[in-house]
Homo-oligomer: A and B are copies of this chain.
Amino acid sequence: MIKAGIMGSTGYVGSELTRILYNHPEVEIKVLTSKSYSNKDFNSIYQNFSKICELKCEENNLEKVVNQLDVVFLALPHGMTSRIITDSILKNVKVIDLSADFRLKSKEVYEKWYKFKHDNDILLKKAVYGLPEWKRKQVITSRLIANPGCYPTCALLCLLPLIKEGIIEEENIIIDAKSGVSGAGRTLALSTHFSECNESIKAYNVLSHRHTPEIEEQLSELIENEILVTFTPHLIPMNRGILSTCYGNLKKGYEYDDIKEIYEKYYNNEFFIRLTSKNIFPETKWVKGSNYCDIGFTIDENTGKIIIIGAIDNLIKGAAGQAVQNMNLMFNLEEDMGLKSIPMFPI
């Protein structure tokens, strides 16, 4: 059995990790930590675990917990893990970091977008961006995974095949994304107060969302050429789910079946990617509670645009589920182990 720990277990991502790992056949959860609730029973905070999980939350002390573990999941605020992860820790334990601290390439980008000084150059280079469908080989041999952000996961899975094959122009890429409120986490804020966000929709962090450079870097890296995108996230009055509506200019000469073939080439053997039929488009309800990413597309003959729509459960494929998918790869388990839950509908 793999001995696992979850730091920051009492956030929404942390509690999803706990739920998924708890029923994972090859994992035993040894440690849950929490800053706000240390010394409290985990199931008094998340009563869904009542009569199921009897662990008490420990302090957020990585040094202390690391020796008893094979893998540790870090669901901590941005700016923390880059300060506490070291080479010597990585010798003892595999690390899957769900914060943004190892997702980007350079310290400068962190300063610009995350407003903190990143002092961990070496590990920044060692860390693998854990999008298994595109980085499987690197994930398998890595000891430090930067688990992708929720928006980038959905947008990248939609766009990478088209970028890779040079099917769309590198300019004029727009990602209009819509997310449920759980994406904002459990920290109290006026914008996620029920009466403030229920029954309303808004764009937020327009042109300033931190997932922008993450998307751009991954797209650019793939073809070794800088790609810029316009990314607009919106807040939707629902708990879970991300829908990304992506727009690009299709290069001349490509038709529906060509694109379909490309998506099939990259994704037909992927456990967690489902391509919708022609004229059927993803809806978040069909992926909720699962690790699937559904993708559909269509071509606007009049304007030459291709529209690609992707849907994920932001807390699963967009966070905890993908983290477990990475863990499975790192420990040579079947990639979908513990992740076979069928999307639940209606929920």
Please tell me if the beta carbons of B347 and A303 are within 8 angstroms of each other in the complex. no
Q: Please measure, in the bound complex, the distance between the C-alpha atom of A243 and the C-alpha atom of B234, giving whole angstroms.
A: 10
Of A171, A247, A276, A344, which is in contact with the most chain B CB atoms at under 10 Å from its CB? Answer: A344
Interface presence of A260 (CB below 8 A): no
Q: Mark A163-207, 1 if CB is under 8 A from B, else 0.
A: 000000001101010101110001011101111111111111011
Would you give the shortest CB distance from A48 to chain B, in whole angstroms?
A: 4
A253 to B340, CA, bound (A): 52
Q: Chain B residues with Cβ under 8 A from A23's Cβ? A: 340-342
- Which of A62-70, A144-152, A288-296 touches B? A288-296
CB atoms of A286 and B50 under 8 A apart: yes
With A178-B178, A200-B285, A201-B238 given, is the CB distance from A207 to B345 under 8 Å?
no
* Complex CA–CA separation, A340 to B341 (angstroms): 11
In the complex, A3 has a CB within 8 A of chain B? no
Contact between B303 and A229 (Cβ–Cβ < 8 Å)?
yes
Q: Does A281 lie within 8 Å of B203, measured CB to CB?
A: yes
Interfacial residues of chain A within 50-90, with CB under 8 A of chain B in the complex: 50-52
Inter-chain contact B307/A199, CB cutoff 8 Å: no
Residues of B within 8 A of A236 (CB): 178, 201, 236-237
Which single residue of chain B is at the shortest CB-CB distance from A236?
Answer: B201
Pairwise interchain contact B199-A199, C-beta atoms closer than 8 A: yes
Contacts A199-B239, A230-B303, A346-B198; A289 near B289 (Cβ below 8 A): yes
- Residues of B within 8 Å of A344, CB to CB, are 19, 48, 289, 344, 347
A225 interface residue, CB < 8 Å from B? no
A241, CB-defined interface residue at 8 Å: yes
In the complex, the chain B residue whose C-beta lies closest to that of A297 is: B206
CB pair B203–A181 under 8 Å, yes or no, is no
Whether, in the assembled complex, A9 has its beta carbon less than 8 Å from a beta carbon of chain B, the answer is no
Q: Is A302 touching B194 in the complex (CB atoms < 8 A)? A: no
Known contacts being A239-B195, A240-B346, is A188 close to B186, with CB within 8 Å? no
Most central of A198, A245, A298, A303 by chain B CB within 10 Å: A198
CB of A143 within 8 Å of the partner chain: no
Q: How far is the CA of A279 from the CA of B286 in the complex (A)?
A: 35
CB distance from A276 to the nearest CB of B (A): 8
Of all chain B residues, the one with the shortest Cβ separation from A179 is B201
A316 and B176 alpha carbons, distance in the complex (Å): 26
Do A230 and B305 form a contact, CB below 8 Å, given A181-B198, A207-B300, A345-B15?
Answer: yes
Partner of A203, one of B171, B182, B245: B245
Measured CB to CB, the residues of A under 8 A from B are: 12, 15, 19, 22-23, 46-52, 171-172, 174, 176, 178, 180-182, 186, 188-190, 192-204, 206-207, 228-230, 232, 234, 236-241, 243, 245, 247, 249, 274, 276, 279-290, 292, 294, 298, 300, 302-303, 305, 307, 309, 340-347
Task: Please name the 3 residue pairs, one residue from A and one from B, whose CB atoms are nearest each other, closest first.
Answer: A200-B285, A48-B343, A202-B283
List, sorted by A's number, 9 A–B pairs whose CB atoms are closer than 8 Å: A22-B342, A50-B274, A174-B305, A176-B247, A186-B190, A199-B347, A201-B284, A202-B284, A202-B285
In the complex, besides A51-B274, A198-B346, A240-B347, 12 extra interface pairs with C-beta distance below 8 angstroms are A15-B345, A186-B193, A186-B196, A194-B194, A194-B197, A200-B285, A201-B238, A201-B241, A203-B243, A206-B279, A228-B303, A289-B347
